Structure 1
Amino acid sequence: MKNALITGSTKGMGRAIAVAFANEGLNVAICSRNEKELFEFADLLNRSNPGIKVFAQVADGSDKAQLLAFASAAQQELGFIDVVVNNLGTFVPSSILDDADDTFDKQLKTNLMPTYELYRFFGKTMISARKGHFFNICSVAALNPVVQAGSYSITKYALLGLTKIMRLETQEHGIKVTAIIPGSTLTDSWKDAVVDKNTMVLPEDIASAIINIYRMSPGANVDEIIIKPAPGQL
């Protein structure tokens, strides 16, 4: 049985992706800072898919030590990690000149560092096995910067660049690397806004795209996929 590890996995896109991989029959490793939410979600996954293993560990993915402890424990508990979904992210709507002193550092540690560190942690093992798939959740802000979220745009540009380097470093070894580039998606970032969900991408849409890419033949890789609201960006 194959194993998928998902960061930022109890809400929004991460939750939908974890559900989709569990429904696909993969064991899943999930983490969250919120212990109650994490283990309630783990219980739900177990009850919905009794044939799989669910590994859950409380961890702040923006903390390198906690992130790597989660990765190591998941690997020890489940075995070889076939799929890594780097979903953890935070959105701060602020122009760079108005950023708080810690805004940029926090977004680097949340939007970029976890992908870099999990790539370093799992990459060589995947190369040795000549299999594995990284899905990195980027953003359309990596293609068209959002001036009202300058630091966020910078970190997403960097994440897309990292994704391209990961692919070039590993593709000759049979590793797949895919950049998922969502537009306006109905996650917690929009919880205080009045929006029509029919004008937005849903987390389940992102999860569906990832599962369909995952199902492709060993010789096929989707480098990037852009998923935007049908009526245009909000």
Structure 2
Amino acid sequence: MNNAIITGATKGMGRAIAIAFATEGISLAINSRKADELDAFKTELLTINPAIKVFTAVADGSNKDQLLQFAKSAEQELGTINIIVNNLGMYEYSRILNDGDALFQKMFNTNLMPAYELYRLFGKSMIAAGNGHIFNICSVASLNPVVDAGTYSVTKAALLSLNNVMRLEMQEHGVKVTAVIPGSTLTASWDGQAVDKDTMVLPQDIASAIVNIYKMSKGANVDQIIIKPAGGQL
């Protein structure tokens, strides 16, 4: 059975990806800082597919020690982790010159560090097995910086760069790496703003793309996929 670890899985894109994988029969490891969220979501996932296993842990994914403890426990409970979805992220509307003193470190720890650490933790075992798939949820800001979200743009560009290094390191070993680059997607980042969901990418669109990429033949890899609103960025 295939086992996936998904960071930031109880909301938004991560939640939709977890549901899509559960539907496909893939067992899951998910974390959150809120135990009640985890318990409710675990119940929902097992209702969708009682045949899978769901490992949960109360852990802050932006805290290196908690992240690694969660990941190691997930492997002990589920077995080999062969899918990683680096979805955890945060958006802050701020120009760099107006950033608070702690914002860069917070953004780095949320948007970049988890992908780096999970890669280092599981990468060699994926190489030894000769299979696996890593998905890194980047952003169109990885390609075209948003000046009003400067540090977000920097950390997401760094994530895309990390993704590309991962792919080059892994491609000779049969391990796939894909950068998923969403445009304006209806997640909690838009809370408090008046938006029309029919003009946006939905989390389910991202999940559908990831599942279809994962199900491709052994010889095919999608290096990166950009999914933007049909009418253009909001």
TM-score normalised to structure 1 length: 0.99
Question: Which residue is equivalent to 1:41?
Answer: 41
Cα distance between partner residues in 2 of 1:197 and 1:175: 35
Runs of 4+ in 1 over 4 A off after TM superposition: none
Question: Which residue is equivalent to 1:17?
Answer: 17
Summarize deviations over 1:19-45 as a string: whole Å, max 9, x none: 000000011111111111111101111
Cα distance between partner residues in 1 of 2:194 and 2:68: 37
User: How far is the alpha carbon of 1:59 from its aligned partner?
Assistant: 0.6
Summarize deviations over 1:147-195 as a string: whole Å, max 9, x none: 0000000000100000000000111000000000000000000011100
1:202 counterpart letter in structure 2: L
Cα distance between partner residues in 1 of 2:170 and 2:48: 35
Cα distance between partner residues in 2 of 1:157 and 1:50: 38
1:13 counterpart letter in structure 2: M
Summarize deviations over 1:83-121 as a string: whole Å, max 9, x none: 000000000000000000011110000000000000000
Question: Which residue is equivalent to 2:152?
Answer: 152
User: How far is the alpha carbon of 1:48 from its aligned partner?
Assistant: 1.7
- 1:104-115 matches, within 5 Å, as 104-115=104-115
Cα distance between partner residues in 2 of 1:71 and 1:219: 28
Question: Which residue is equivalent to 2:63?
Answer: 63
SS in 2 for 1:148: coil
Q: Flag structure 2 segments of 5+ consecutive residues without an equivalent.
A: none
Question: Which residue is equivalent to 2:143?
Answer: 143
Question: Which residue is equivalent to 1:230?
Answer: 230
2:78 counterpart letter in structure 1: L
Give the share of equivalent positions with the same residue, in percent: 67
Q: CA RMSD in A?
A: 0.5
1:65 counterpart letter in structure 2: D
Cα distance between partner residues in 2 of 1:201 and 1:223: 20
1:218 counterpart letter in structure 2: K
TM-score normalised to structure 2 length: 0.99
Cα distance between partner residues in 1 of 2:203 and 2:33: 20
Question: Which residue is equivalent to 2:194?
Answer: 194
Provide the aligned length of Structure 1 versus Structure 2: 234
SS in 2 for 1:186: coil
Question: Which residue is equivalent to 1:203?
Answer: 203
SS in 1 for 2:30: strand
- 1:69-218 matches, within 5 Å, as 69-218=69-218
Summarize deviations over 1:194-220 as a string: whole Å, max 9, x none: 000000000000000000000000000
2:223 counterpart letter in structure 1: D
Cα distance between partner residues in 2 of 1:89 and 1:77: 25
Cα distance between partner residues in 1 of 2:34 and 2:189: 17
Cα distance between partner residues in 2 of 1:219 and 1:31: 32
